[in-house]
Amino acid sequence: MAILVYTENWEGKFKKLSYELVSYAAKLAEDMGTQVVAVSIGNTDKEQLKTLGKYGASKVIAVCNGELNTLHNRAYTAVLAQVAQKENAKIVVLAHNNTGKALAPRLSVKLKAGLVSGVVALPISYQPVTFRKKSFNGSAFANVKVNSPSAIVTLFQNSYEIVEKGIEPTIEEFVPTFPEINAQVTNVDKVTGKILLTDAEIVVSGGRGMKGPENWAPIEEFASLLGAATACSRPVSDENWRPHSEHVGQTGKIIAPNLYFALGISGAIQHLGGVSSSKCIVAVNTDKDAPIFEAANYGIIGDVKKVLPDLVAAYKEFKAS
């Protein structure tokens, strides 16, 4: 028996998200008296694979095959299912991101294991195993019981603290079989060198209160000082002030950074649906009654165009001290 965790890599590297998943799986394993097996698909060197042990993986299974360099849901599912069966996985943990959302449902059918997606905490019970997940676009939590012998979960980002365990894992190569791939990637259009919105620990986001795309320079500057990603509200991307890839909210990207700056964003319910899991929200808005202040931890009433340069200066001063 084991807890299996799928650790996605990005060009051969794991991210904080991967370690969060391993830490979560390690706690499940500890509570259930078993161990964590991590599975990695793609070209990842041994040193990287070993880092998974640091957070609690006893065994790392590496699958390397040229055909699996891009995500093919059906093939990846076949691989994960084979590993899960081989390791007799009781629970399979994936991230609640694009990849996890693509694979977990398929895996649930393949293994006939109940899926709970968007899990935000450790199980509220192990007998039977019951997980807490987000529902109604973040307006409520649901406690979902799994009726099958094994379970699949996708974990919401930033739901669990990273904990170091310092295990020296065994590394095992695995050669899977998978069905023929009938989708071919013909073009990739990727921005490089920017911090990805979905990974960022800090996000600086602008709304209609910024008044126009020409006013984004201070946001960019503030973000680069903080090592943050930039984002925007829906009206801003609808107006083409910023690219659609920056739109956060219920219909855009759903993010959960440690720190979210909402600058000139009124905080419509659809926007809050995409950012409400942030650990800390700072709002700057001229309208003291803007709903964003209901969601924020810290607020400043004022015009972003005046407040932001002061904030940049204050942060520079803080960094220097």
Partner 1 sequence: MNFEFTEEQIMIQQAARDYAQRELIKDVIERDATGRFPSDHIKNLADLGFLGMLVDPKYDGGGMDTVSYVLAMEEISKVDSSCAVVMSVNNSLVCYGIEKYGNEEQKEKFLKPLARGEKIGAFLLSEPEAGSDATSQRTRAVDMGDHYIINGTKNWITNANCGSTYIVIAQTDPAKGHKGINAIIVEKNTPGITLGPHEDKMGMRSSDTHSVMFNDVKVPKENRIGDDGFGFSFAMKTLEGGRIGIASQALGIASGAFERAVQYSKERKAFGKELMYHQSVAFKLAEMAVKIENARNLCLKAAWLKDQHQPYGIASAMAKQYAADIAMEVTTEAVQIHGGYGYVKEYHVERLMREAKLTQIYEGTSEIQKIVISRAVLGK
Partner 2 sequence: MKILVCISNVPDTTTKIKFNNEKTEFDKTGVQWIINPWDELALTRALELKETSNGVITAVTVATVGLIDSEPTIRKALAIGADNAVRVNANPKDAYYVAGQIAEVVKKDGYEIVICGIESSDYNGSAVGGMLSEFLEYSSVSSVSGMNIDGGNIVVNREIDGGKETLAVKAPFVAVVQKGIAINPRIPNMRGIMMAKTKSLAVVEPAAMDELTSYETYELPAAKAACKMISAENVKELIDLLHNEAKVI
> Which residues, 207 to 236, sit near partner 2 by CB under 8 A?
226
User: Among residues 66, 175, 185, 214, which is the contact residue for partner 2, using CB under 8 A?
Assistant: 185
Radius of gyration of the chain (CA): 21
Give the DSSP letter of residue 253: B
Cα 82 to Cα 176: distance, rounded to the nearest angstrom: 7
User: Among residues 109, 220, 224, 239, which is the contact residue for partner 2, using CB under 8 A?
Assistant: 109
Contact segment (CB under 8 A) with partner 1 among 11-19, 35-43, 151-159, 286-294 equals: 286-294
User: Rounded to the nearest whole angstrom, what is the least distance from the CB of residue 289 to partner 1 in the complex?
Assistant: 5
Report if residue 289 touches partner 1, rule: CB under 8 A.
yes
Cα 25 to Cα 37: distance, rounded to the nearest angstrom: 9
109 binds, among partner 2, partner 1, none (CB under 5 to 8 A by kind): partner 2
8 residue type, one letter: E
For residue 159, what are the contacts with CB-CB under 8 A and spacing of at least 6? 20, 24, 119, 120, 121, 256
User: Among residues 33, 66, 140, 289, which is the contact residue for partner 2, using CB under 8 A?
Assistant: 140
Question: Which CA distances in Å does 69 have to 8, 31, 52, 83, 192?
Answer: 12, 35, 20, 18, 18
Report if residue 240 touches partner 1, rule: CB under 8 A.
no
294 binds, among partner 2, partner 1, none (CB under 5 to 8 A by kind): partner 2
User: Rounded to the nearest whole angstrom, what is the least distance from the CB of residue 251 to partner 2 in the complex?
Assistant: 5
User: Rounded to the nearest whole angstrom, what is the least distance from the CB of residue 20 to partner 2 in the complex?
Assistant: 16
List the x/- string, 52-81, binding to partner 2 by CB under 8 A: ------------------xxxxx--x----
291 binds, among partner 2, partner 1, none (CB under 5 to 8 A by kind): partner 1
* DSSP 3-state of 270: helix
Cα 303 to Cα 263: distance, rounded to the nearest angstrom: 9
Report if residue 213 touches partner 1, rule: CB under 8 A.
no
User: Among residues 9, 43, 65, 148, which is the contact residue for partner 2, using CB under 8 A?
Assistant: 148
**Taking CB under 8 A as the criterion, which residues in 247-276 touch partner 2?**
247, 250-252, 258-259, 269-270
When the beta carbons of 226 and 290 are compared against partner 1, the nearer one is: 290
Looking up tokens 């059906």 gives: 74
What would the two tokens of residue 72 be? 């093919």
242 binds, among partner 1, partner 2, none (CB under 5 to 8 A by kind): none
Cα 35 to Cα 25: distance, rounded to the nearest angstrom: 9
| 146 touches 116 (CB < 8 A) | yes
Q: What is the largest CA-CA distance in the chain?
A: 60
When the beta carbons of 94 and 290 are compared against partner 1, the nearer one is: 290
What would the two tokens of residue 98 be? 């694009």
268 binds, among partner 1, partner 2, none (CB under 5 to 8 A by kind): none
